Structure 1
Amino acid sequence: MGDLPTRADVVIVGGGFTGLWTAYYLLAAEPALDVLVLEAEHVGFGASGRNGGWVSALWPVGPEALARKAGRDAAAAMVTALQDTVVEVGRVTAAEHIDCGFHRGGTVALARSSAQAERARAEVAHSDAWGMGTSWLNAAEARERLAATNVHGATFNPHCARVHPRRLVDGLARTVRGLGAEVVEGARVTAIEPGLVRVDTGDGSERNVLARHVIRATEAWTARLPGERRTTAPVYSLMVATEPLRPEQWDEIGLADAEVFSDHRHVIIYGQRTVDDRLAFGGRGAPYHFGSRIRPEFDHEAAVFADLRKTLTGLLPQLGGVEFTHAWGGPLGIARDWNPSVGLDPATGLGWAGGYVGDGVAATNLAGRTLADLVLERHTPLTALPWVGHHSRRWEPEPLRWLGVNAGLRVAAAADREEARTGRPARLGHALSLLTGH
């Protein structure tokens, strides 16, 4: 840890996408602000540097759920804001010369069974009602995009781009430093309080840093802060990547427009064609660890890595004989109601954002712009969005949290097995909705 200032106008705890986007938009609006970003490890150490690189308008809570609380107009505004955010990320990366491979090729989600096709067509109808832009591709059109096995069709949504996430987070850090922010790595915050943060100096003592505003941007690591153990559940997602593929291999596979891809199974999978022509592929399936523990060894689950490689080669048998060269993982943050949130308490100066459920590459940008408006006391369309000021209920105490989260993972896998057996949408899907709370 380098020299630590004793005060700042705004202290941001967390050097990932949320913290860096917030610093960027604050300084773009008010260059004279003294902005300090504190990161326990290195910038992008958490999900920001390890994710699947989807800059998408996806949201873990459907617009109907938002409309029930805030009204249809507010829900529709959220849909539009997320779509605009994809464009905004591309605008900033171009303007700031951040070489992260941003390319807006959309999302292809394959339907690989009759049950998946039924759910996919329902998703298209739902999209039409909300202007979300999802369309149906027949089997031939889907295979033209991605030549996978057992393709019945696919949904396509244009509101998504591919990025190299670590290049994006490093580029953002470089940019905000250039704008005047101080980014201190190796600064482990032990407590957040109104007007100050406490930082472990590494020698057994702590140092206070004073600030008018303190922003918590710690995502999965929120569970490590005092009093926040039940705010966010850290759930692991793991990834694998192939060696670079030859042009003729890509001709067989597809993804000619760098579309990101998934399918309509219940256990989430996601992939992309990387900037150096690898296939990077990830999914859920790693267990939630008792007590919201986060440990380096949890980033590596050999059985999950093996299942991901098997799933990808089953999806794309063209990869037979291709070497898998990388495997990694890390935790993402999930609020109890699956609803991300952003906010600022004007009485205390404490702000927060997070609980993105793995959809944060774009949402963090929206959060950064919103937090900048809140800190600067600007009333804008962003500060009126329905996730602003939302407070999720707390997760259950252990062992109920461990039982519930891991039950959800098992039910999702069981629902996929049920559909493979019956060819119909799983009855277990309703049980999964009850467990996830939406």
Structure 2
Amino acid sequence: MDVKKNGDVSFWFADMGGLPNYRAPLPGDIDVDVCIVGAGFTGLWTAYYLKQANPNLSIAIVEKQFAGYGASGRNGGWCSGGFSWSRSKYLSTGSRAGVIDFERQLRGTVDEVIRVCEAEGIDANIRRTDCLTFACTPAQMERLRAEQADDMAWDVPVERSHLIGASEAAARIRIKDVQGALVTSGVARVQPAKLVRGLAEAVARKGVAIYEQTTVTGIAKGRVTTNRGTVTAHRIVRATEGFTHGIPGNTREWIPLNSAIVVTEPVPDALWDELGWSGYEVFGDASHAYCYAQRTQDNRIAMGGRGVPYRFGSKTDANGETQAETVEKLKAILYRMLPQTRSLKLDHAWCGVLGVPRDWCTTAGLDVSTGVAWAGGYVGLGVSTSNFSGQTLADLILNKQTERTDLPWVNRKPRKWEVEPFRWLGVHGMYWLYNLADRREAASGGQRTSRLATLANRITGR
């Protein structure tokens, strides 16, 4: 099987004709109003909304590789406006009403991303659709019922979150052994590399300087040091998400959790007829190990999952290269859920990292004493949440009090991760237990949720 495992970083860049040409690096010492570290979604959206609010601001973005190199150009392409973090944990920094409002505003990011794409002429293969989380055992279906009940308890509109039975779920996509599904409406499928590259071009047109091939070596009050020079700025944004550990002083702030994706060859029309999937829904499942998938614009299937979840010492991949073992695991998931696809070849495989805080809850904020702002820890919901980060950070940097600035995720700082080897043991132990829980549920006919999954969550505070 000839699977491309690196070179283009992800299939999404290969789909665009290959990796982009580098922009010029930082030319030396400069002085700007705002310096943003990281040219992914978080940094670019922040620059976009800052320029929208104040066109006269001087803004520089410094990026080690190229705009979209990290998770922004490698993710599964779900623009969901979703909320999968612990609602109750946010009560420590806000109220129930604030958590509900946070979730409500996040849902609006899907429309906002689409609005900006239309305004800026960004063609990111965006398609409005639903997200389907499938249950293939009674235990998984019970978990979906509990999730939907929790949604209702937190005032999520029923048209946003509702359950469907086996026959209706199978009519959407013919998943093997389907018991039902949780339908989340109001989401969109995107081609993420096209989105992040288009956003970078839009930001550059507004006068934001993007310096690539520039490695940040330190962030301090009023200054960002790099291998190319020093940027002096009144406000600094750390927009490094899964690469935050590489900034000195942030080694244990967020850990880089690995996720991997495989993409099939184009699917013949006859096989689509057999699969259904005419609505281009994005989908996942209710197993503990979890997976995520989309039908691409050119009619391939992209299937993602955790693979090797964490590398010792918070190490990251080399340009998206992933292990053969991970490719086999993702292929097994694809064939388990859609056995009709066994004749398909896999064309691409890659991986990337996402940032995970110790409490597994996203955060954004500004330390006024240092002038350093941050956002991230999306735990897999970065395509939509990063847009909201950009709006929120622009408000905070410009000292505006808005409906966003008092939400319970603002200025929330969880405790740091443990030193090695304890964080490696914790994360790998969690996923080992998740996989074992899935196997035990399958062996017992999937009637009841395994207690091992609960134990896994307790170990890592998820």
- TM-score scaled by length of structure 1: 0.96
Counterpart position of 1:336: 358
CA contact (8 A) 1:4 1:184 kept: no
Paired letter, 2:109? T
CA contact (8 A) 1:23 1:176 kept: yes
Counterpart pick for 2:395 among 373, 387, 394: 373
- Structure 1 residue 310: deviation in Å? 1.6
Cα separation, partners in 2 of 1:160 and 1:344, compared to 1, 3 Å: same
Counterpart position of 1:191: 218
Q: 1:113-153, CA deviations, whole angstroms, 9 ceiling, x for partnerless residues? A: 01101111111211122233211111111011111100011
The RMSD of aligned alpha carbons is 1.4
CA distance in 2, matches of 1:198, 1:68: 35
Paired letter, 1:194? K
Cα separation, partners in 2 of 1:67 and 1:180, compared to 1, 3 Å: same
Instruction: Give the 3-state SS of the residue equivalent to 1:299 in structure 2.
Output: coil
Q: 1:257-282, CA deviations, whole angstroms, 9 ceiling, x for partnerless residues? A: 22100110010200001111110110
CA contact (8 A) 1:63 1:79 kept: no
Q: 1:288-332, CA deviations, whole angstroms, 9 ceiling, x for partnerless residues? A: 111111241773111111110121022112212111101011111
Counterpart position of 1:204: none
Counterpart position of 2:59: 35
Counterpart position of 1:407: 429
CA distance in 1, matches of 2:406, 2:198: 30
Instruction: Give the 3-state SS of the residue equivalent to 2:127 in structure 1.
Output: coil
CA contact (8 A) 2:44 2:203 kept: yes
* Percent of paired sites with the same residue: 42
CA distance in 2, matches of 1:137, 1:113: 14
Paired letter, 1:339? C
Structure 2 gaps, min length 5: 1-23
CA distance in 1, matches of 2:303, 2:193: 16
- Structure 1 residue 429: deviation in Å? 2.2
- Structure 1 residue 98: deviation in Å? 0.7
* 1:215-254 alignment, distance < 5 Å: 215-254=237-276
Would you say 1:111 and 2:135 are equivalent positions? Answer: yes
Would you say 1:93 and 2:117 are equivalent positions? Answer: yes
Counterpart pick for 1:44 among 41, 44, 68: 68
Counterpart position of 1:318: 340
* Stretch deviating more after TM superposition (285-294 or 101-110): 285-294
* 1:219-298 alignment, distance < 5 Å: 219-296=241-318
CA contact (8 A) 1:236 1:299 kept: no
Q: 1:354-410, CA deviations, whole angstroms, 9 ceiling, x for partnerless residues? A: 111111111100000000000111000111111100001000011111111111111
Instruction: Give the 3-state SS of the residue equivalent to 1:159 in structure 2.
Output: strand
* 1:71-90 alignment, distance < 5 Å: 71-90=95-114
Instruction: Give the 3-state SS of the residue equivalent to 2:284 in structure 1.
Output: strand
Counterpart position of 1:146: 173
Counterpart position of 1:357: 379
Paired letter, 2:89? A
User: Aligned residues, how many?
Assistant: 433
Paired letter, 2:222? G
CA contact (8 A) 2:430 2:457 kept: no
* Stretch deviating more after TM superposition (95-104 or 1-10): 1-10
CA contact (8 A) 2:266 2:300 kept: yes
CA contact (8 A) 2:29 2:230 kept: no
Instruction: Give the 3-state SS of the residue equivalent to 1:104 in structure 2.
Output: strand
* 1:176-187 alignment, distance < 5 Å: 176-187=203-214
Counterpart pick for 2:150 among 100, 107, 126: 126
- TM-score scaled by length of structure 2: 0.91
Counterpart position of 2:442: 420
CA distance in 2, matches of 1:278, 1:293: 31
